[in-house]
Amino acid sequence: MEYLAHLTLNCGIFIILAVSLNLINGMAGQFSLGHAGFWAIGAYTGAAFSVFSPLPIPDWMNLFIGCGIGGISASIAGILIGIPCLRLRGDYLAIATLGFSEIIRLLIVNMDVVGGPRGFTNIPKWANLGWVYLWVVITILFISNLMKGTHGRAIISIREDEIAAESIGINTFKYKLMAFVIGSGFAGVAGALFAYSQQFIHPNGFNFLWSVIILLMIILGGLGSITGAVIGAVILTLLPEVLRLMGETISQWRMVIYSLLLIMLMLWRPQGLFGKKELNLSALLGRKKS
Amino acid sequence: MSEDQLYFFYDLFQYLINGICQGSIYALIALGYTMVYGIIKLINFAHGEFYMIGAFTGYFCIRGGIPLYFAFPIAMLVPGIIAVLIEKIAYKPIRHAGRIPALITALGVSFFFQYFGQNVLGADPKAFPEVYEETIYNLGEAVSISSTQIIIIVTTLVLMLFLRWLVMSTKVGKAMRATSFNKDASELMGIDTDKIISFTFFIGASMAGAAGVLVGIYYNTVEPMMGLIPGLKAFIAAVLGGIGIIPGAVLGGLVLGVVENLVVGFWESTYRDAVSFGILILILLVKPTGILGTKTKEKV
């Protein structure tokens, strides 16, 4: 039971990460490979708040303040990184964000206050299943509502054709930055929740590998689909556990399976499971959207 | 000059030598990066893995009793062939899908080789067998250069000149340049671009394989994860010099190697990788086409 609860909680955290990365990569079409960096910032600032200066108020209020701090500091980092990087396009942007996330990780390794290479310990366990899933709901509602409005349309238009979007008067830089900052902010929230549920964080837990795994989640689900991101996150969080049940040897080959999955998806189904479609009640009932 | 100043200069020279040596390795890997990017605009993330494969081929050859002068060409050939196969299986079908799907596939290939290697060969570093007696030449009081360092620098120079000759003065090279300039037009002119692209992959990967063996001899260890960081560094070197430009890759590699070693020598070794990534971001912001690059504009 304990194990299942832990797994469900991890699913929730990865859903937040995948949905927020999906806003940047899938909706705005800005290919970021540095999501783990923002995740790390959120985790470390959230953890630092909980260890060094928790307020004398109930834990759940502290949790929300901690998540807020994690989210805000990750979005500030998103602004600082986004302003220079979002001038770049496509593969260059991918490498620049990858570079920044590695720099963030290396800076944390060199920061002794938060444990440096030994990791950050003694973080209070504030998060439980309920709070994590409350944040999951907040994230999904926020991003899906954003996408329905003017701002969301503008963000999607950048993905479809940036030059055309610019020519009809959309301030593409502003909307790219908006998507980037909101996405990194929610990654920060996920980081804080991660710290409050694991109680121990280590810089190597936020390396490049994790950026790729989160990316794989949204590619599997379908770039540009929130439902796809959720399902991709659930599948890839549960898959290692399923593989573990199948035996030690198969579990060892987990990353090989992931990489083959990534290649095969690109070769045969580049749009992922859902493509850009959303799965919702009206679609299930077969009603057409007007 | 006071004693302190003298030793400062000794240190500086020593780090410069180490830096040029390290930079030569980066340059060799960066050559492949830059050639592949130049021809199909793909950031071949898996390029660092060809370097790892080269190092392991060398390791197994030398342990199997094959002398170095045979092992070295084999270690260049094997990654070359694997690269061609990978290009045919994974990259060719999605060549027209755009840059991002290609980049994702390359990421997948890179992770595949890393973890496949880890499962098959074991994650622990393996000691590279000693192939010759190492001699250390003293240049002045506190500056020295080892025979391996000389071999690395000389091999890099030779391979780079060979590549320069191949690209600039042979028929294949002409076809490569034509393909990179305009693929469709060169197809109309009767160039088999598929063959040229495969050939580019082969040459690039065998350069990386050579670098792998040299590093195996230099550091005495090989491991399945060894390709990740040098691969990224070589990419930084290629961007720094101007991606797609062959002399640029060498220049970028040498600059990066020297800067890294100066950071290690006069600042802190833990900041080495952070400084490299910082250089990458700086160059992408200030002059994304690299030191030797010229500006191009995207057309609608």
Residues A181-198 have pLDDT tens digits of: 999 999 999 999 999 998
Integer Cα distance of A193 and A8 in angstroms? 13
Q: Which of A103, A112, A166 to mutate to test the interface with B (most CBs of B within 10 A)?
A: A103
B270 to A266: CB separation less than 8 angstroms, yes or no = no
Task: Find the range with the poorest average confidence among A22-36, A68-82, B2-16, B177-191.
Answer: B2-16
Task: For residue B208, tell me if it sits in a domain.
Answer: yes
Report chain B residues whose CB lies below 8 A from the CB of A261: 108
Report chain A residues whose CB lies below 8 A from the CB of B236: 99
Q: At A251, is the pLDDT very low, low, confident or very high (cuts 50, 70, 90)?
A: confident
pLDDT in tens, chain B (300 residues): 677 887 788 888 888 988 999 999 999 999 988 888 888 888 888 899 999 999 999 999 988 888 888 888 999 999 999 999 999 998 888 888 877 888 889 989 999 999 998 888 888 888 888 877 778 888 777 788 888 889 899 998 898 889 889 988 899 999 998 988 888 898 899 889 899 999 999 999 999 999 999 999 888 888 888 888 888 889 889 888 888 788 888 899 999 999 999 998 888 788 888 888 888 888 888 887 778 877 655 544
pLDDT digits (tens, 9 = 90+) for A88-122: 877 788 888 988 898 999 889 888 888 888 888 88
R_g (Cα) of chain B, nearest Å: 19
Query: pLDDT at residue A223 above 80?
Result: yes
CA closest to A32 among chain B residues: B100
Task: For residue B292, tell me if it sits in a domain.
Answer: no
B284 to A96: CB separation less than 8 angstroms, yes or no = yes
Q: Which of B87, B70, B89 is nearest to B197 (CA)?
A: B87
Residue A99 contacts B where some CB pair is shorter than 8 Å = yes
Residue A252 contacts B where some CB pair is shorter than 8 Å = yes
Domain count, chain B: 1
The mean per-residue pLDDT over the stretch A22-27 comes to 91
Q: Tell me, what DSSP letter sits at residue B91? A: I
The pTM of this model reads 0.87
CA closest to B86 among chain A residues: A263
What three-state secondary structure class fits B145?
A: strand
> In this predicted structure, what is the pLDDT of residue A289?
44
B108 to A260: CB separation less than 8 angstroms, yes or no = yes
Report chain B residues whose CB lies below 8 A from the CB of A253: 115, 119
Q: Are A192 and A16 in contact (CB under 8 A)?
A: no
Beta carbon pairs, A and B, within 8 Å: 109
> In this predicted structure, what is the pLDDT of residue B9?
82
CA closest to B46 among chain A residues: A259
> In this predicted structure, what is the pLDDT of residue B299?
46
Task: For residue B294, tell me if it sits in a domain.
Answer: no
Q: Which of B214, B242, B195, B224 is nearest to B124 (CA)?
A: B224
B104 to A87: CB separation less than 8 angstroms, yes or no = no
What's the length of chain A? 290
What three-state secondary structure class fits A201?
A: strand
Its domain, for residue B189, covers 3-286
What's the length of chain B? 300
Angstrom distances, CA of residue A75 to CA of A14, A68, A188, A202, B278? 18, 10, 7, 21, 20
Q: Which of B1, B262, B224 is nearest to B111 (CA)?
A: B224
Integer Cα distance of B263 and B278 in angstroms? 12
Angstrom distances, CA of residue B11 to CA of A144, B24, B294? 58, 20, 36
Which tokens is A243 given? Answer: 């593989």
For tokens 């057309």, name the residue: B299
Angstrom distances, CA of residue B48 to CA of A36, B79, B83, B106? 22, 11, 11, 11
The half-sphere exposure of B127 on its side-chain side, counting CA atoms within 13 A, is: 3
Amino acid making up residue B246: I
For tokens 């399902």, name the residue: A231
B277 to A100: CB separation less than 8 angstroms, yes or no = yes
Report chain B residues whose CB lies below 8 A from the CB of A87: 285
Which tokens is B149 given? Answer: 């360092």
Integer Cα distance of B32 and B35 in angstroms? 5
Task: For residue B73, tell me if it sits in a domain.
Answer: yes
Cα B189 to chain center, whole Å? Answer: 32
Chain A segment 173-202 residues within 8 A of B by beta carbon are none
Provide the CATH number for the domain around residue B168.
1.10.3470
Report chain A residues whose CB lies below 8 A from the CB of B108: 259-263, 266
Q: At A290, is the pLDDT very low, low, confident or very high (cuts 50, 70, 90)?
A: very low
What three-state secondary structure class fits B146?
A: strand
**Which among B94, B115, B271 has CB closest to A110?**
B271
A91 to B97: CB separation less than 8 angstroms, yes or no = no
Report chain A residues whose CB lies below 8 A from the CB of B111: 209, 212, 255, 258-259, 262
Query: pLDDT at residue A285 above 70?
Result: no
Residue A137 contacts B where some CB pair is shorter than 8 Å = no
A106 to B280: CB separation less than 8 angstroms, yes or no = no
Q: Which of A81, A98, A106 to mutate to test the interface with B (most CBs of B within 10 A)?
A: A106
Task: For residue B276, tell me if it sits in a domain.
Answer: yes
Residue A171 contacts B where some CB pair is shorter than 8 Å = no
**Which among B110, B115, B281 has CB closest to A96?**
B281
Residue A90 contacts B where some CB pair is shorter than 8 Å = yes
CA closest to A81 among chain B residues: B281
Task: For residue B297, tell me if it sits in a domain.
Answer: no
> In this predicted structure, what is the pLDDT of residue A280?
67
A103 to B274: CB separation less than 8 angstroms, yes or no = yes
Task: For residue B296, tell me if it sits in a domain.
Answer: no
> In this predicted structure, what is the pLDDT of residue A174?
92
Task: For residue B140, tell me if it sits in a domain.
Answer: yes
